Amino acid sequence: MNKKQKKMLIRILIAAVLMVVLHFVPASGILRFVLYMIPYAIIGYDILIKAGKGVKNRQPFDENFLMAVATVGAIVLGLTQSGDYTEAIGVMLFYQVGEWFQSYAVGKSRRNISQLMDIRPDYANIEQDGALEQVDPDEVEVGTIIVVQPGEKVPIDGVIVEGSSTLDTSALTGESLPRETAPGDEIISGCINLSGVLKIRTTREFGESTVSKILDLVENASSRKSRSEAFISRFARVYTPAVCYSALALLILPPLVRMFLLDLPADWGDWLYRALTFLVISCPCALVISIPLSFFAGIGGASNAGVLIKGSNYLETLSQVKAIVFDKTGTLTQGVFEVSGIHHNKLEDEKLLELAALAESASSHPISRSLQRAYGKPVDRSRVSDIQEISGNGVIAKVDGMEVAAGNDKLMKRLGIDFIPCHHVGTIIHMAVNGAYAGHIVISDVIKPHSKQAIHDLHRAGIQKTIMLTGDIDPVARQVADELGIDEVYSELLPADKVEKVESLLQNKPSGGKLAFVGDGINDAPVLSRADIGIAMGAMGSDAAIEAADVVLMDDDPLKIVKAVKISRKCLRIVYQNIVFAIGIKLICLVLGALGLANMWLAIFADVGVMILAVLNAIRALFVKNL
């Protein structure tokens, strides 16, 4: 509870105590009026000031104006008729109670998000003349060696050059299990170093680091409004003036009809009371407050679970997803390729592997890295020249003066080289040296531990169709799809083919549903942008994928996709519950108020009571741990 909330709570308690005490004080006339105005001023002065400012700025129609008119009217009635001012104080008191609940709920959601904001580093350590100097992370250049001591945050992305440790990544991923690190490992900013001293060579400037991107995503999340929020905003702009004019009509028209048409007493006091009750009932607080709060709480709860949703519009779209398209490598599989077989014509296994590793040495593709790991020796790049990478085919390069081609079937056909088909399941790298076929290398990817469970859980959650897109060969793609239980698979696709395929899938998606794409690679960015909603595997994903995506998973666990979908659906259920509940109760009470069957206390329930119940319901969106 912050200072503002504590101050408001004190005002509420003082006003409530004074209202109860004054009930037993035998005062009358002006003294009674003055005594009752003390708790009214204590609890309502800020509402009156805001209402006055709204009128001054020619924007009077808001909840402050409604509360001010209703309570001042109730006071006038008390002065002229009943001498009872408790209803006026009660309206202000319970309205402020509702506002306090709303403030507390927003604060709780902000604290969930601020746990992520705590990843912002205050400084970076640079060693100079044998001593550590703390500098602003913005001042650290790429390639600088920084030192991270136990208990400190990693300030900038980089590679460990010395030391080993365990890292607390819970603020980023929502997972409590520490990660082991060693020299050579890439490390992202925002993690907390738990044990050993680490020396890290920075690979990015602070403004481009993971922590900066995450903070930017979180800070901008609330600016993107959902259709439900936009509707409520438009609704309130029309609804509030309409009920003000309706209350005015309720005050004027029935007494005039009674006087001139029915020849009955006008009974202005009774109709004024009805109009004031009508105003209090009609206040749209429950909708205007609880709907944005539900989305805000949903985004906060998701952030705490390691799922960054860039705005409530994306949260709403995610809840409507009926089909999910997956990239294979790095999304459903680990992207850790291992050489599982070498088949050659005349060259030795080691020589064929050496030529492949050298030819692929300029590529950062996982297959290239797996060849270099299998080769196991330092790669001398000076032996390689004239490298030509052909997207979706492979690489052609000169190694020790020989022309070496390493790639798939398409590359061999492109070069007019007869090759021997391989019937092993895996990625096949065909090799040709000086235009002659030299053999092939079999590389297999490893499926992520939770991929199968994630696909199963998505189907149970109501996802009607799961699809996998990959540039891999058909036998490998089908084996992975069958093992995971994926409904459809499309293989041997170039990056442009993936966009085309998603376009086709968007035309044939389940009726009334949305299509999501999940990927992590730089070539997934166009597809992430094209799908109804793009989901990036954030921790190891490329910057381009994270920028293009609407939802970012802070680790590479596919089960987070299931959690993201469930969070969005829970949030939207709460939103629709609040809309139906708030509008339904208000319509009933408005009719009762207009007929004179509702007093001010029922009006308070219809306004503040409904708002408090809607806010409490909205807070449920924060709790996502067991989804």
Most confident of 7-16, 297-306, 531-540: 7-16
Region of residue 319 (left: phi > 0; alpha: psi -120 to 50; beta: else): alpha
Transcribe 408-433 into DSSP letters: -HHHHHHHT-------SSSEEEEEEE
pLDDT computed for residue 207 by the predictor:
77
Q: What is the mean pLDDT of residues 509-527?
A: 82
pLDDT computed for residue 451 by the predictor:
93
Distances (CA, A) of 262 to 254, 256, 257, 265, 266: 10, 9, 6, 9, 10
Confidence of residue 583 (pLDDT cuts 50, 70, 90): confident
DSSP letter at 606 equals I
427 strand-pairing partners: 443
Structure tokens at 1: 């509870």
Expressed in angstroms, the distance from the first to the final Cα of the chain is 27
Q: pLDDT at residue 445 above 60?
A: yes
Rounded Cα–Cα distance for residues 402 and 417 (Å): 16
Q: What is the mean pLDDT of residues 121-145?
A: 85
Q: What is the mean pLDDT of residues 323-336?
A: 85
167 strand-pairing partners: 179, 193
Confidence of residue 405 (pLDDT cuts 50, 70, 90): very high
Is residue 194 within 8 Å of 165, Cβ to Cβ? yes
Taking the complete model, does pTM exceed 0.85, yes or no? no
Q: pLDDT at residue 105 above 80?
A: no
Name every residue whose Cβ is closer than 8 Å to that of residue 5 and which is 6 or more positions away in sequence: 100, 103, 104, 107
Q: pLDDT at residue 196 above 90?
A: no
Rounded Cα–Cα distance for residues 410 and 413 (Å): 5
Q: What is the mean pLDDT of residues 416-431?
A: 83
pLDDT computed for residue 216 by the predictor:
64
Rounded Cα–Cα distance for residues 461 and 431 (Å): 45
Rounded Cα–Cα distance for residues 463 and 466 (Å): 7
Angle, CA of 84, 85 and 90, to the nearest 5°: 125
Confidence of residue 538 (pLDDT cuts 50, 70, 90): low
Q: Provide, for the chain, the percentages of residues in helix, strand and coil under a 3-state DSSP scheme, each rounded to the nearest 5.
A: 55, 20, 30
Confidence of residue 43 (pLDDT cuts 50, 70, 90): very high
Q: What is the mean pLDDT of residues 177-191?
A: 82
pLDDT computed for residue 284 by the predictor:
73
Read off φ and ψ for residue 108, nearest 5 degrees.
-65, -40
- Residues taking part in catalysis: 327
Rounded Cα–Cα distance for residues 99 and 7 (Å): 13
Is residue 586 within 8 Å of 606, Cβ to Cβ? yes
Confidence of residue 118 (pLDDT cuts 50, 70, 90): low
Q: pLDDT at residue 226 above 70?
A: no
Q: What is the mean pLDDT of residues 285-293?
A: 75
For 586-602, write each residue's pLDDT tens digit: 888 888 877 888 777 78
Q: Which residue has the higher pLDDT, 317 or 600?
A: 317
Alpha helices in 347-441 (DSSP H): 349-359, 366-375, 409-415
Confidence of residue 229 (pLDDT cuts 50, 70, 90): low
Confidence of residue 413 (pLDDT cuts 50, 70, 90): very high
CATH fold for the domain made of 338-444: Calcium-transporting ATPase, cytoplasmic domain N (3.40.1110)
Is residue 410 within 8 Å of 432, Cβ to Cβ? no
pLDDT computed for residue 106 by the predictor:
66
Q: Which long-range contacts (CB under 8 A, 24 or more apart) does 601-604 make?
A: 601/87, 601/90, 602/277, 602/281, 603/70, 603/91, 603/277, 603/278, 603/280, 603/281, 604/90, 604/91, 604/94, 604/95, 604/280
Residues of 128-166 as b/e, b for ≥16 C-beta within 10 angstroms?
eeeeeeebebeebeeeeebbbeeebbbbbbbebeebebb
Rounded Cα–Cα distance for residues 530 and 548 (Å): 9
Which of these, 516, 520, 559, lies nearest to 539 by C-alpha position? 520
Confidence of residue 609 (pLDDT cuts 50, 70, 90): confident
